[in-house]
Amino acid sequence: MGNLELTSEEEKELLSFIERYYHDLRVEIANTDDREFRRTLKHKEGVIRNILDRMKVTNI
């Protein structure tokens, strides 16, 4: 996949959106009893955490 160029404002909004989604995802994981669904959510959590970490490094 190619690169996406964002303005500073767009980048801040995207980061904020992803952080809110990540928080909601962690709540969902905590409230999920189904092991298979929890495993799927934990995989998504790892992917999102990786994206957040990379975005924060580029914003320093």
Helix intervals (H) in 5-34: 8-30
Check residue 57 and give its pLDDT.
85
Q: What is the pLDDT of residues 18-54, one digit of tens each?
A: 999 999 999 999 999 999 999 999 999 999 999 999 9
* CA pair distance 31, 54, nearest whole angstrom: 27
pTM > 0.85: yes or no: no
